[in-house]
Structure 1
């Protein structure tokens, strides 16, 4: 199978739509197995967004794998999922393993992975858009159609096949169309795949953002924050997506990974900062290591800045 092309999450009531390029395998079983393996890889990238309580576990050393397994079993019991499956998936996500749930029946994997992907974006369900290569032969076309039907029947997924195959696969479903693709500002690469941010939530693959949000959620002074929203620097300037925003206080917070140290990225960041600052916003930047290694200091600085803004009314 190819890379997961993107994950799309639109309105809160719509499914999280995963667009995937298939390889055109010649059997239903092989196609289903490859789809499930890649769904598992995507779930690993989204960890810990789908496992409440695991946000602060940042290493696979020591008792961490046991801890995430315990959390997974408890979460599965509360949400009517398979405890052994979810525990295996959580342990694999923590350690970076792949296809760690193959010991479970495909039906269990399909339903479990569909729920995990939906939960990662707080969506009620998950849908797949399968995009095969051009010019599939009859055997591969038949296998893809059978695999899609299997995923519908056993995974409780909605599946669209986007193809121009001459052998009868529809390019779009008759009754409904997939939602429009929304391209985020940035698409961090993890293991060669891209995962987008979702408006209103910390990026699910950014442990620093998830950890910071967990800390901010317990503090009353942090009210009014918004993750992954856009700011328009000026009437003639395109809006830009920022990591964290307090709109009333006109405060932008960026969480920078190692890639921001490169010359090109550094220059781009400075340009963005200047454009935003010219429109009255303050830009505070913290590195991932600052958030993960010294969260208390980050919180003190944020609280001090926001308190000063509110007292002086500069952000209004």
Structure 2
């Protein structure tokens, strides 16, 4: 696959703390942020329905960022690995870890401690929106080992002048309160003219219409794998998508979670690694692999509904060819098969691995 680098503005040069619009193909940009590009902040993607008020959109963004932060625990809290559930001394332990982390960095201790406790016990945050916005942005950045975070806001088609003003106003609040980059993609703004447009080209990702669509473009609002969904509509809730953390099944992917549970009981499945970045040489553009057995050179990909879109379908084919030329076998399974017929999936993966190892049984 050819490069996904950016011509013009580098990811590290995009602004933090203000709102800009990225002038580039929205689907290509979405493909380019997973895995996170070198030098980029942690990037989460927010799909919004038509906003009716600033307070409503801000509440929706905070709710979705909060879900992401809780799902990513303990990636943002070193030392909390293996602590699950609120029983015993778990709540005091994660609270102490959070306060210790906050004392050594930029985090607000009480917020981080509350978030850590809620990751185990559930519940709603008692902090005001401004504190939550700043705290969640820092947590998401830490989850991916980045110093800063940015929110990629997918603008839906057909917004009126009032809705555009609400959207931009909310994004400005997010950028200011969260000290985050807020980058708009998708439909252009027609009524609001105060947002700078920054040219952004992502070469190497197939454009829509360049490949056959095997199953129809993903319907708006239909949940896909790895915590990503299509653009929200009035009848579907907004959602946030984010990349995987290396070494773990994606917390937003029920099929990855289910497959890991099944593989954990199979001795032959040892040596697996989730969500690894593959870069055969320094000039190659990295790609992320759902599941890898490096010794056997076996890659397993789990395809959600978003893989049926033309751009993603074409990109998948390019990835497969690149991996096959480098000696890897690529096994692809629809996420629905993993969730409804996991024994067949396990059997086929096991059969392939045993064949590569030259073993039986």
TM-score between the two structures when normalised by the length of structure 2: 0.55
| Partner deviation per Cα, 1:167-191 (whole Å, 9 max, x = no partner) | 3358x9622549799xxx96379xx
Pairwise mapping of residues 1-316 of structure 1 onto structure 2 (< 5 A)? 8-97=34-123, 100-101=124-125, 103-164=126-187, 167-168=190-191, 174-175=197-198, 177=200, 187=226, 196-198=243-245, 200-203=246-249, 205=251, 227-229=274-276, 241=289, 243=291, 245=293, 247=295, 250=296, 264-280=341-357
Distance 1:33 1:178 in 2: 32
Runs of 5+ in structure 1 lacking a partner? 210-221, 232-238, 285-316
Residue pair 1:13, 1:124 contacting (<8 A) in 2 also: no
* DSSP-derived class of the 1:175 partner: strand
Q: Secondary structure at the match of 2:100?
A: helix
RMSD in angstroms over aligned alpha carbons?
4.2
Conserved 8 A contact 1:160-1:173: no
SS at match of 2:107: coil
Q: TM-score normalized by structure 1?
A: 0.62
Residue 28 of structure 1: CA displacement? 2.1
Would the aligned equivalents of 2:45 and 2:240 in 1 still touch at CA under 8 Å?
no
> Which residue matches 1:296?
none
- 1:303 is aligned to none
Larger relative contact order (Cα-Cα within 8 Å, sequence gap ≥ 6): 2
Offset, 1:155? 0.9
Contact 2:96 2:113 in 1 (8 A): yes
Distance 2:272 2:68 in 1: 28
Q: 1:15 to 1:136 in 2, by over 3 A?
A: same
3-state SS of the aligned residue for 1:17? Answer: strand
> Do the aligned residues in 2 keep the contact of 1:135 with 1:165 (CA within 8 Å)?
no
Residues 273, 283 of structure 1: 8 Å contact kept: no
Cα offset, 1:51, TM superposition: 0.7
Q: Distance in 2 between matches of 1:25 and 1:226?
A: 40
Would you say how many aligned residue pairs link Structure 1 and Structure 2? 244
Pairwise CA distance, 1:121: 1.4
Q: Residues 228 and 60 of structure 1: is their aligned pair in 2 closer, same or farther, counting only changes over 3 Å?
A: same
C-alpha distance in 2 between matches for 1:58 and 1:74: 19
CA distance in 1, matches of 2:276, 2:97: 31
